[in-house]
Amino acid sequence: MSPKTLYDKIWDAHVAHEADDGTCLLYIDRHLVHEVTSPQAFEGLRMAGRKVHAPDKTIAVPDHNVPTTEGRENPEQMPEDSRIQVAALDKNAKDFGIHYYPVSDIRQGIVHIVGPEQGWTLPGMTVVCGDSHTATHGAFGALAHGIGTSEVEHVLATQTLIQKKSKNMKVEITGKLQPGVTAKDITLAIIGETGTAGGTGYVIEYCGEAIRSLSMEGRMTVCNMAIEGGARAGLIAPDETTFEYVKGRPHAPKGAQWEAALNWWKTLYSDDDAHWDKVITLRGEDIAPVVTWGTSPEDVLPITSTVPAPEDFQGGKVEAARRSLDYMGLKPGTPLSEIEIDTVFIGSCTNGRIEDLRAAAQILKGKKIKDGMRAMVVPGSGLVRAQAEEEGLADIFKDAGFEWRLAGCSMCLAMNPDQLAPGERCAATSNRNFEGRQGRGGRTHLLSPAMAAAAAITGRLTDVREIMAQQPEAMHGDA
Ligand SMILES: CC(C)[C@H](C(=O)O)[C@@H](O)C(=O)O
Ligand code: SF4
């Protein structure tokens, strides 16, 4: 048998039919659904008089539009278009008999946090959702990617998807990370290296010692941004860390089925002599805590750098940088650590998990946010929120001056009441920083939860290691 990559193995295990031109019909194991990209798909089924083919493999949760303040069960809290989408999901979930976590359910949250948390996402699966950050689930060694609304309808109706195979790309992060450097810094640093188009046409497998040593939360952060690097999906081969995380989750296999699943999962790795179409290697030791300065995730630099000048770039990027700097209101040569911010957002499917909250709280413990700062923590799910309360993290945030919100996409995108006003500048743990992403005229700097916490304290983009130096015990933490 010829050697295969992990992607090849999962792909081959799911091909139901292959046409002469290489187009395949793939079987889909899990279909995640949210309120924004599903209404027309369900409407299509209704019009055709069809059912959902595999309701037991279809999981829905409202997340993008929902307010994150108390009392949100009251539909009056939402603008009309959001209210219509959430009400449609409520009705569709009931009418079509799919799994559903309404806002009143403690398990509600961002779809990419809920899926893994509930054990819906498992190694070796194909996972799709009408959402580009479905890549997150690749952290389990699942082939996971976003689909469009017409494909949502196709998967609902048939539990299959028409796909062409992508090429194989390996991104290896060798060695160990320096203190203060996190999964978010890794994933931003990779995009800084490859650009937002570097992964176009590929499925990326992340590997190497620095990736292996990440928790599942960290691995999800890395895979979450595969799409920002242009890739179809990101993958990490499952290992003991994965199995440990999955074991005992509500929808994970149990007993003899667990043993059988584990036997298969242990075969899910890229063979030594597998063929790679593209390989990128970074040294873990070389990665610094980073922030973005522009309006693309590839506009990333170590926090110790200065704002670049358009002339530092070549080709089309010169004009793009000029426009970015103009929109961001930044002057070339300004130290990044002198950029003042007025808003801090900790949350999103990139960094809204328990470990992210722990990392931020570790920096904030016993400290206050800068006067006048608007700072919010939006846990990725109701269960993350409950756990953070139990661990005392919520109190650390609240004592520091943060708002402690209910779960949802929130300020990651401006589709709900949590938005930036024009000209406001936000340190955000989310994954996109394009113009208007967090509100019209809003300015976004992407960074890790620990870096966001540091910025909240000082009121400017800040090297988290400065704060860590004042609290020596943190230097040895894994945050
Ligand atoms: C609304 C949804 C379709 C969108 C996506 O696909 O990514 C959103 O989640 C985002 O992050 O921009
Ligand atoms: S948290 Fe942000 S990136 Fe993630 S699904 Fe929601 S809007 Fe998209």
Instruction: Please answer whether residues 458 and 373 qualify as being in contact, where contact means their C-beta atoms are separated by less than 8 angstroms.
Output: no
Determine the average pLDDT of the residues in 138-143.
98
pLDDT digits (tens, 9 = 90+) for 420-460: 999 999 999 999 999 999 999 999 999 999 999 999 999 99
The CB of 341 under 6 Å from ligand 2? The reply is: no
Position 323 scores a pLDDT of 98
Model confidence at 478, pLDDT cuts 50, 70, 90, reads very low
The CB of 409 under 6 Å from ligand 2? The reply is: yes
| Residue located nearest, by CA, to atom 9 of ligand 1 | 131
Instruction: Decide: residue 396, CB within 10 A, 0-12 exposed, 13-18 middle, 19+ buried.
Output: buried
Position 471 scores a pLDDT of 83
167-238+269-286 CATH choice from 3.40.1060.10, 3.30.420.40, 2.30.30.830, 3.40.50.261: 3.40.1060.10
pLDDT digits (tens, 9 = 90+) for 357-400: 999 999 999 999 999 999 999 999 999 999 999 999 999 999 99
Binding-site sequence positions for [4Fe-4S] cluster: 349, 409, 412
Any idea which architecture 6-165 has in CATH?
Answer: 2-Layer Sandwich (3.30)
Continuous H helices in 252-330: 255-265, 316-328
User: ipTM of this predicted complex?
Assistant: 0.99
Q: Please give the number of the atom of ligand 2 that sits closest to the Cα of 111.
A: 5
Q: Any idea which fold 290-476 has? A: Aconitase; domain 3 (3.30.499)
Q: Please give the number of the atom of ligand 1 that sits closest to the Cα of 412.
A: 11
- Pocket test of ligand 2: the residue of 61, 405, 430, 444 to mutate, having most ligand atoms within 8 Å of its CB, is 430
Strand residues in 269-332 grouped as ranges (E)? 278-283, 290-292, 300-302
- Pocket test of ligand 2: the residue of 35, 132, 137, 348 to mutate, having most ligand atoms within 8 Å of its CB, is 348
Determine the average pLDDT of the residues in 337-361.
98
Position 232 scores a pLDDT of 98
Position 479 scores a pLDDT of 42
Position 77 scores a pLDDT of 85
pLDDT digits (tens, 9 = 90+) for 231-265: 999 999 999 999 999 999 999 999 999 999 999 99
**Cβ neighbours around 57 below 10 Å, total:** 19
The CB of 64 under 6 Å from ligand 2? The reply is: yes
Position 64 scores a pLDDT of 98
- Pocket test of ligand 2: the residue of 82, 413, 431, 437 to mutate, having most ligand atoms within 8 Å of its CB, is 413
Structure tokens at 329: 């209101």
Name the strand (E) or helix (H) holding 87: helix 80-96
Q: How far is the CA of 132 from the centre of ligand 2 (A)?
A: 8
Model confidence at 32, pLDDT cuts 50, 70, 90, reads very high
Position 75 scores a pLDDT of 83
> Whole-prediction pTM value?
0.97
Q: How far is the CA of 34 from the centre of ligand 1 (A)?
A: 10
Instruction: Report whether pLDDT(169) > 70.
Output: yes
Q: How far is the CA of 131 from the centre of ligand 1 (A)?
A: 5
Instruction: Tell me which ligand sits closest to the C-alpha of residue 63.
Output: 2
Position 473 scores a pLDDT of 63
Q: How far is the CA of 417 from the centre of ligand 2 (A)?
A: 15
Determine the average pLDDT of the residues in 28-36.
98
| Residue located nearest, by CA, to atom 4 of ligand 1 | 131
Q: Please give the number of the atom of ligand 2 that sits closest to the Cα of 350.
A: 4
**Locus of tokens 């499925």:** 203
Model confidence at 205, pLDDT cuts 50, 70, 90, reads very high
Position 477 scores a pLDDT of 45
pLDDT digits (tens, 9 = 90+) for 36-53: 999 999 999 999 999 999
* 200 Cβ contact list (under 8 Å, min separation 6): 230, 231
Q: How far is the CA of 129 from the centre of ligand 1 (A)?
A: 10
**Do 6-165 and 290-476 show the same overall fold?**
yes
Q: What is the DSSP letter of 76?
A: G
Determine the average pLDDT of the residues in 290-318.
97
Instruction: Report whether pLDDT(406) > 90.
Output: yes
Domain boundaries, the chain: 6-165, 167-238+269-286, 290-476
Which amino acid, one-letter code, is at 372?
Answer: G
Instruction: Please answer whether residues 215 and 355 qualify as being in contact, where contact means their C-beta atoms are separated by less than 8 angstroms.
Output: yes
The CB of 431 under 6 Å from ligand 2? The reply is: yes
Q: What is the mean pLDDT of the chain?
A: 97
pLDDT digits (tens, 9 = 90+) for 76-129: 888 899 999 999 999 999 999 999 999 999 999 999 999 999 999 999 999 999
Report which of 477, 431, 467 is spatially closest to residue 133, judged by C-alpha positions: 431
Angle (deg, nearest 10), helices 382-390 and 354-364: 40
CA–CA distance, 155 with 161 (Å, rounded to integer): 6
* 214 Cβ contact list (under 8 Å, min separation 6): 183, 186, 222, 241
Position 74 scores a pLDDT of 87
| Residue located nearest, by CA, to atom 3 of ligand 1 | 131
Instruction: Please answer whether residues 190 and 280 qualify as being in contact, where contact means their C-beta atoms are separated by less than 8 angstroms.
Output: yes
Structure tokens at 187: 């994933």
Strand-pair partners of 203: 168, 233
The CB of 415 under 6 Å from ligand 2? The reply is: no
Q: How far is the CA of 366 from the centre of ligand 1 (A)?
A: 36
